[in-house]
Amino acid sequence: MQDDFDTFGVPVENMEAAKLREQPQRKGFEYHTQVPTRKQVKTLPVDSLTKLLVGWMTNSPIEIVPSRIQVEQVVELLLQRDDADSLERLLAMCRNYIRN
């Protein structure tokens, strides 16, 4: 069983390097520098979780961009949630990310 506070294997050093990009916002582009924990994927409300996952998958600096395997792990956790039926759009987004 994975640790609830695991960030899908993203090393702390990578997250610290990504946070350095928060300082100089280049030409209005805002980097997303937060990697979700397994616990967040399992428990956050849908709106908060969607914002977090979209940011991670679309606006992360290279140091923390998720791999297909990491997003597959997110999908597995989403399917285990009690509210998995209401996560159709979020699951579709994740599956699309995996396919591309």
In the chain, the number of structural domains is 1
- Residue 20: predicted pLDDT: 86
The model's confidence at residue 31, banded by pLDDT at 50, 70 and 90, is confident
Nearest to 57 by CA among 40, 74, 42, 43: 74
Q: What average pLDDT does the segment 68-91 reach?
A: 97
Instruction: Please report the pLDDT score of residue 15 as a whole number.
Output: 94
Q: Is 66 contained in some domain?
A: yes
pLDDT in tens, 42-61: 999 999 999 999 999 999 99
In a domain, 2, yes or no: no
Question: Within a domain: residue 7?
Answer: no
- Is the separation of the CB atoms in 36 and 5 below 8 Å? no
Averaged pLDDT, 12-40: 84
Percentage of residues in the chain having pLDDT higher than 90: 80
